[in-house]
């Protein structure tokens, strides 16, 4: 007799999936080839075209930046140092100039009084003594006068050369004036009191008689 096959069993059989034992599933065949690994030390395809920074290159770059910064700071400090030296030098020169100006100002009054002694000695030398004692005294006056002239020159006190020179109101003071035909400009024809300069500046004007051109 033919055994009847249960319809449900047939369905079970048709629906059953063939399974392989655990761990024995076959590997799928891949149609694409496996990507080759890049050679050691060379950039891969992703890094091509991009700059690769190694640690040593970064260190060198940082050192260059620090060196540039230090050089700039060095130049700034050197500039400040040189400016400081120049300022100190200028300050010293100003102080020295002010000191000299003060010394000259202090000496000015003293030199003016000393010139009065000079005038008296010069008048004394114009006397012609008749006796031997008078000649001895005059010799002593001459020595004192010479010493005084030497001291005045040492301190840059210089006599103004005024006689027969064109009148200069900056250095001459006219006490009297006379007209003359044979001159073209005002001229000093007589000096009553000698004038002097001190370091090139007027200390005392020369007191003089001045001749002026006579008008026709």
pLDDT at 130: 86
pLDDT value for 118: 95
- Residue 169 near residue 206 (C-beta atoms within 8 A): no
Report the C-alpha gap between 27 and 34 in whole angstroms.
Answer: 15
Report yes or no: 210 and 176 within 8 Å, Cβ to Cβ. Answer: yes
Structural domain boundaries in the chain? 57-155, 158-216
CATH topology for 158-216 is Nucleotide Exchange Factor Grpe; Chain A, domain 2 (2.30.22)
Taking only the tens of pLDDT, the chain with its 216 residues reads 444 444 444 444 444 444 445 544 444 444 445 445 555 544 554 545 555 557 788 888 888 888 888 988 889 998 988 999 898 989 888 888 888 877 777 888 899 999 999 999 999 999 888 888 889 988 999 999 999 999 999 989 999 999 999 999 999 999 999 999 888 899 999 999 999 999 889 999 999 999 999 876
**Distance of alpha carbon 151 from alpha carbon 158, whole angstroms:** 11
| Residue 53 token pair | 């920074």
Distance, in Å, from the CA atom of 170 to the CA atom of 205, rounded to the nearest integer, reads: 8
- In this prediction the pTM is 0.55
């Amino acid at each position: 007799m033919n055994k009847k096959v249960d319809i449900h069993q047939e369905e079970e059989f048709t629906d059953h999936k063939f399974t392989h034992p655990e761990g024995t599933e076959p590997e799928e065949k891949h149609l694409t080839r496996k990507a080759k690994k890049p050679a050691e030390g060379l950039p891969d395809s992703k890094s091509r075209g991009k700059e690769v920074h190694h640690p040593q290159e970064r260190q060198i770059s940082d050192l260059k930046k620090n060196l540039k910064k230090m050089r700039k700071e060095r130049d700034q400090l050197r500039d400040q140092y040189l400016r400081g030296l120049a300022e100190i030098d200028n300050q010293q020169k100003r102080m020295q100039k002010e000191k000299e100006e003060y010394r000259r100002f202090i000496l000015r009054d003293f030199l003016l009084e000393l010139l009065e002694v000079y005038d008296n000695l010069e008048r004394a030398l114009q006397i012609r003594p008749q006796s031997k004692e008078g000649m001895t005294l005059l010799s002593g006056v001459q020595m004192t006068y010479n010493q005084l002239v030497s001291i005045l020159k040492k301190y840059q006190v210089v006599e103004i050369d005024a006689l027969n020179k064109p009148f200069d109101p900056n250095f001459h003071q006219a006490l009297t004036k006379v007209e003359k035909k044979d001159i073209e400009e005002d001229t000093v024809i007589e000096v009553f009191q000698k004038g002097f300069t001190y370091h090139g500046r007027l200390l005392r004007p020369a007191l003089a008689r001045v001749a002026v051109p006579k008008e026709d």
